[in-house]
């Protein structure tokens, strides 16, 4: 049986698998990568029941690219971590930015409906300007809540 990491532990110090990187052979080229992982789970720190998330990471690569299998293992590791949504998005952005060192990154975390409340969190960070809340809000129009919510709406039509 795996142990649950307590919410009293500072999520910034929880040991998680490393996001491994590979060399980008086209660092001089401007392009955007987008990863969507619809199976992210973590534990509610209050009830210890699982919370289900859809996470999108969009970024402009520089010299490094994330190795996607390691990114998946990184995400899976949150399965036994009790944490609030707000802490989860910040830990993911910090780890991704440190490992990949992109020119900029945008992370959007869509928490499935729980108790009648749907939560979407967004964070944008660039090497040149740091965190920018206004840019995160601007990009929320480019990356709507989640493709899962769009799929569900299309199925109900």
The catalytic position among 9, 10, 51, 94 is 51
Stated pTM of the model? 0.86
Pairing of strands 33-43, 104-114: unpaired
Q: Which whole number is the average pLDDT over 6-33? A: 90
Span 113-156, pLDDT tens digits: 878 888 999 999 999 999 999 998 888 877 665 444 434 444 44
Q: How confident is the model at residue 57 (pLDDT cuts 50, 70, 90)?
A: very high
Q: Which whole number is the average pLDDT over 2-10? A: 60
Residue 46: Cβ within 10 Å count: 9
CA distance 71 to 32: 17
CA distance 113 to 49: 13
> Is 51 a catalytic site residue?
yes
The catalytic position among 44, 62, 94, 95 is 44
CA distance 89 to 121: 7
Span 20-44, pLDDT tens digits: 999 999 999 999 999 999 999 999 9
- What pLDDT is recorded for position 140? 83
> Is 94 a catalytic site residue?
no
- What pLDDT is recorded for position 141? 77
> Which domains does the chain possess?
31-156 (3.30.1130.10)
């Amino acid at each position: 049986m795996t142990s649950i990491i307590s919410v009293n532990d500072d999520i910034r110090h929880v040991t998680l698998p490393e996001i491994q990187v590979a060399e980008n052979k086209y660092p001089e080229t401007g392009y955007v990568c987008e990863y969507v992982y619809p199976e992210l789970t973590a534990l509610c720190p209050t009830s210890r029941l699982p919370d289900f998330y859809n996470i999108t990471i969009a970024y402009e690569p520089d010299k490094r690219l994330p190795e996607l299998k390691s990114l998946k293992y990184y995400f899976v590791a949150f399965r036994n971590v009790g944490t609030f949504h707000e802490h989860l998005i910040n830990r993911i952005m910090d780890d991704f930015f440190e490992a990949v060192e992109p020119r900029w990154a945008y992370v959007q975390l869509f928490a499935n409906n729980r108790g009648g409340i749907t939560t979407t969190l967004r964070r944008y960070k660039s090497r040149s300007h740091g965190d920018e809340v206004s840019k995160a809000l601007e990009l929320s129009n480019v990356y709507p809540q989640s493709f899962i919510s769009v799929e569900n709406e299309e199925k109900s039509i």
